[in-house]
Every structure is written in structure tokens, then in C-alpha cells.
Amino acid sequence: MTGYRPEDLNQDWEFKILRSTVGAFGSPERLHRFLEEEARAGWVLVEKFDNSRLRLKRPASARERDGKLHIDPYRTYVGVSPNQVAALAVGVVLAIFLFIIMAASLKGAPGNPRPPVPVQPVMVK
């Protein structure tokens, strides 16, 4: 990871980490699209850590244009949020669990039992 340069810290810069839960920065097209969106708020790429994290910076004076933007200039996630991924995972686990319970209850339930066959008494002589 690249350290912050003294001139960056001594000047009036803001920094943020932009994250993607699903590794959206691995696709050059998607990476370019997200960087274009961030550039409208004055953010520029400092470093790509991996397909899930980017470090961005912008001059603090860019805050003056924040009210005119159609995105949150301080967003830290793009795409699916970690909460949505967690909710989906919990939903899938619950669905599998319910399926197993239903399958077990159907397997253990008696089918249509046959009515008892009447027994003919046997006469012994």
C-alpha cells in the first residue's frame, strides 16, 4: 500500500476508500464508470488496492459543489452493500433449512395407509 505523501497531508486534501462487496473494480469498464462518477465530485484515483477497494482523494474545496451532485460524494460502497449480501445469505440458508425440514416431515409422514383386511375366522374340527 502506498503511504500518504507529506505534500498530500500538508495541503487541503480529503481521502476516502471506495469499496465494492462483489469485486466490481475487476472489470475495466465498471472501474472506469465508477471513477467517472467519482470525478464529478472531484475525486481522483490514488491507488487500486484490489478488485474491491480503491483509494481516492480530492481537494477540500470540491465540497462547494456537493449540493449539485446526483450521488453522495462521501459514499464508501458501490453496488450491492454488505448488508444486502448478508441478508441474501441469511435468506438462502433459511430457505435451505426450511426445505430440509419440509422434506423430512414429508418422508416421515405416513402415506395413505391401506384399510385393514378383514380376517376370516378359521373353524377347527
Considering the domain boundaries, does residue 34 fall inside one?
Answer: yes
Q: Which amino acid is at 73?
A: P
Considering the domain boundaries, does residue 84 fall inside one?
Answer: no
Considering the domain boundaries, does residue 49 fall inside one?
Answer: yes
Considering the domain boundaries, does residue 68 fall inside one?
Answer: yes
| Residue 25 near residue 34, CB atoms below 8 Å | yes
Considering the domain boundaries, does residue 51 fall inside one?
Answer: yes
Question: Which tops the pLDDT comparison, 38 or 107?
Answer: 38
Buried-state track 25-52, b at ≥16 Cβ within 10 A, e below 16: beeeebbeebbebbeebbbeebeeeeeb
Considering the domain boundaries, does residue 42 fall inside one?
Answer: yes
Confidence (pLDDT) at 111: 59
| Structural domain of 21 | 8-79
Cell of 9: 497531508
Considering the domain boundaries, does residue 54 fall inside one?
Answer: yes
Cell of 38: 467519482
- Give the span between the Cα atoms of 62 and 40, in whole angstroms: 10
Considering the domain boundaries, does residue 23 fall inside one?
Answer: yes
- Give the span between the Cα atoms of 2 and 8, in whole angstroms: 12
Confidence (pLDDT) at 112: 60
Residue 125 has pLDDT above 80, yes or no: no
Confidence (pLDDT) at 109: 57
CATH code for position 50:
3.30.1370
How many domains does the chain fold into?
A: 1
